[in-house]
């Protein structure tokens, strides 16, 4: 895992686990080097931790608009 400084100055660990994005992958981020406590996602396109995830599993970078569509979706949620 790659060690990086997070938005609040804390040490975060960016793993090689990815979710495909339309511009670049999102890498899974943990708060510990063992990968036990998941923190969120890191946008590989603009190298930002400023991402959002909704209940459907969609991921969006708030900086460059890179996004990952939900794996499954139900039209009732739209």
Span 36-48, pLDDT tens digits: 999 999 999 999 9
* Cα–Cα distance, 2 to 34 (Å, whole number): 12
For residue 64, the model assigns a pLDDT of 97
Place 56 in a pLDDT band, splitting at 50, 70 and 90: confident
Whole-number mean pLDDT of the chain? 92
Distance of alpha carbon 37 from the chain centroid: 14
Q: Summarize the confidence of residues 1-28 as an average pLDDT.
A: 96
For residue 73, the model assigns a pLDDT of 56
Q: Summarize the confidence of residues 6-27 as an average pLDDT.
A: 96
70, 76 contact by CB (below 8 A)? no
């Amino acid at each position: 895992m790659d060690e990086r400084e997070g938005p609040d100055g804390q040490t975060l660990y960016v793993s090689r686990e990815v979710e495909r994005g339309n511009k670049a992958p999102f890498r899974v981020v943990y708060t510990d080097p063992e990968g036990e406590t998941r923190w969120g996602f890191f946008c590989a396109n603009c190298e930002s931790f400023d991402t959002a995830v909704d209940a459907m599993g969609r991921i969006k970078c708030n900086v460059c608009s890179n996004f990952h569509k939900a794996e499954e979706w139900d039209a009732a949620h739209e």
